[in-house]
């Protein structure tokens, strides 16, 4: 079991992860419109990652016998100045998510909720990777500056990113992970 306070905090995190998903979906749509198909692919893979993050928490709440309460998801921005601006926004958003995961962990610790602490460890590790990925692309974009050839090369590289997380959750997280080899 988890406390009502913990349940509410996890539900709020589901909402944040789903907002992350549509934020990156919106960035993907913008990149597609701009002809940056590789960036569009990278952000769409990111969309799938975020839906996986949301679904893991959704299922954890249910496995703990608690109630999932889905709320309204804020509309994302739809236009962006440049790839660098998008990645800067992505990094800032991921830093916000990292802080919210840390807050969840603090709550689990304060409640001596060991199960939630163990569950949240995966997210703590994941956030390091999320921020690292964004920082890597930002560094490349700063190096490229206004060089179209460099941007096209990076776009081609980002086109190669593949979705490694499951995308069908109809039979639950465990079987989705087994089916996708994640
Ligand atoms: Fe679910 Fe990108 O953090």
Confidence label for 146 from pLDDT (cuts 50, 70 and 90): confident
Confidence label for 178 from pLDDT (cuts 50, 70 and 90): confident
| pLDDT tens digits along 6-43 | 999 999 999 999 999 999 999 999 999 999 999 999 99
| pLDDT tens digits along 45-89 | 999 999 999 999 999 999 999 999 999 999 999 999 999 999 999
Neighbours of 163 (CB within 10 A): 16
CA 54 to ligand 1: nearest atom: 1
- Give CB contacts under 8 A, 24+ apart, made by 72-75: 73/15, 73/18, 73/19, 73/22, 74/19
Distance, CA of 47 to CA of 43 (rounded, Å): 6
Instruction: Give the predicted TM-score (pTM) of the model.
Output: 0.95
Contact 53 CB / ligand 1 (< 6 Å): yes
Contact 97 CB / ligand 1 (< 6 Å): yes
DSSP run (H or E) holding 126? helix 114-144
Say if 178 falls within a structural domain: no
CA 50 to ligand 1: nearest atom: 1
Confidence label for 155 from pLDDT (cuts 50, 70 and 90): very high
> For 132-161, what is the mean pLDDT?
97
Say if 172 falls within a structural domain: no
Distance, CA of 5 to CA of 24 (rounded, Å): 29
Distance, CA 27 to ligand 1 centroid (Å)?
Answer: 15
Distance, CA 52 to ligand 1 centroid (Å)?
Answer: 9
Task: Give the distance, in angstroms, between the CA of residue 26 and the centroid of all CA atoms in the same chain.
Answer: 13
> For 102-108, what is the mean pLDDT?
98
Say if 175 falls within a structural domain: no
How many domains is the chain partitioned into structurally?
Answer: 1
Domain that holds residue 88: 4-71+79-164
Say if 109 falls within a structural domain: yes
Contact 130 CB / ligand 1 (< 6 Å): yes
Distance, CA 20 to ligand 1 centroid (Å)?
Answer: 7
Percent of the chain with pLDDT over 70: 100
> For 97-101, what is the mean pLDDT?
98
């Amino acid at each position: 079991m988890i406390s009502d306070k913990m349940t509410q905090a996890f539900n709020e995190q589901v909402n944040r992860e789903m907002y992350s998903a549509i934020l990156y979906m919106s960035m993907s749509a913008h990149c597609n419109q701009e002809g940056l198909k590789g960036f569009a692919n990278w952000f769409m893979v990111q969309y799938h990652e975020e839906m996986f993050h949301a679904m893991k928490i959704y299922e954890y709440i249910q496995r703990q016998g608690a109630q999932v309460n889905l709320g309204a998801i804020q509309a994302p921005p739809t236009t962006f100045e440049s790839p660098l601006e998008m990645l800067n926004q992505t990094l800032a958003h991921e830093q916000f998510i990292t802080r919210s995961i840390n807050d969840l962990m603090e709550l689990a610790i304060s409640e001596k909720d060991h199960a939630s602490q163990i569950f949240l460890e995966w997210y703590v590790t994941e956030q390091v990777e999320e921020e690292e990925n964004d920082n890597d692309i930002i560094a490349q974009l700063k190096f490229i500056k206004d060089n179209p050839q460099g941007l096209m090369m990076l776009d081609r590289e980002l086109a190669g990113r593949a979705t490694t997380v499951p995308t069908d959750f109809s039979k639950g997280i465990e079987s989705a992970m087994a089916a996708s080899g994640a």
